[in-house]
Amino acid sequence: MRRQHKSDGTMIDFGVVQDITAEREVTLALRERLAFIQKITSRVPGMVFQFTVRPDGSSCLPFVSESVREIFGISPEEARESTARIFAAIHPDDVDAMVASIQQSVRDIRPWSHEFRVLYPDGSDRWYWGNAVPEREAEGGIVAYGSLTDINERKHAQAALTLTRVGVERTSDAMLWFNPEGRIVDVNAAGNRLTAIEN
């Protein structure tokens, strides 16, 4: 509202009224759609995200499911600004390989897939598998759509199996595995020596 003097010395107030009904309806529709997408992605195990590399090289997650709070300890709003705290949470032994894998995916515009650990403030860590499909944007940036899956139990089971296998190989006792038909399907080193002697 503006006030103006008339030639006779009186004052008049005038202003412009603009109908913003259409814009308001679009904004409300977008908010409803975002809430709907957030609801769906909150039911999906792991984390769903849109990863963007801006033309200046910085990155952010314009969209990320609420599970980013549990996995990385940050809000979706913070992730929309920058991925700095996300990368800071990656295990120090895994961060270089993860960054290199992302850079290669972005450079070649090829699907990204990588396993890495997130390190938590209490010193514990968890394994995750990330995958995304990138595409080039008209403005020069890169956008990728992907997900993160918790693979912690599988990784620990693999590690335990590897330790068991090492122990089995190092024992002096012959160990043989048979299929239901009675055929040998696997042997350890001692078992290999035994079966070679018998043949």
Q: What is the pLDDT of residue 42?
A: 64
Average pLDDT, the chain: 82
Which residues are bridge partners to 69 per DSSP? none
Number of C-beta neighbours around residue 81 at 10 A: 14
Higher-confidence position of 34 and 66: 66
- Above 80 in pLDDT, residue 165? no
Residue with the two structure tokens 């514990």: 124
Pairing of strands 184-187, 112-119: unpaired
Could you tell me what percent of the chain has a pLDDT over 70? Answer: 73
Confidence of residue 199 (pLDDT cuts 50, 70, 90): very low
Of 64-73, 127-136, 171-180, which gets the smallest average pLDDT? 171-180
Average pLDDT of the residues in 93-98: 96
**Distance of alpha carbon 127 from the chain centroid:** 11
Closest CA to 85 of 116, 108, 118: 118
- Above 70 in pLDDT, residue 88? yes
pTM of the entire predicted model: 0.63
Higher-confidence position of 116 and 40: 116
Q: What is the pLDDT of residue 28?
A: 76
Q: Can you give the chain as a three-state secondary structure string?
A: CEEEECCCCCEEEECCCCCCHHHHHHHHHHHHHHHHHHHHHHCCCCEEEEEEECCCCCEEEEEECCCHHHHHCCCHHHHHHCCHHHHHHECCCCHHHHHHHHHHHHHHCCCEEEEEEEECCCCCEEEEEEEEEEEECCCCCEEEEEEEEECHHHHHHHHHHHHHHHHHHHCCCCCEEECCCCCEEEECHHHHHHHHHHC
Tens digit of each residue's pLDDT (9 = 90 or more) over 99-142: 999 999 999 999 999 999 999 999 999 999 999 999 998 888 89
Q: What is the pLDDT of residue 151?
A: 92
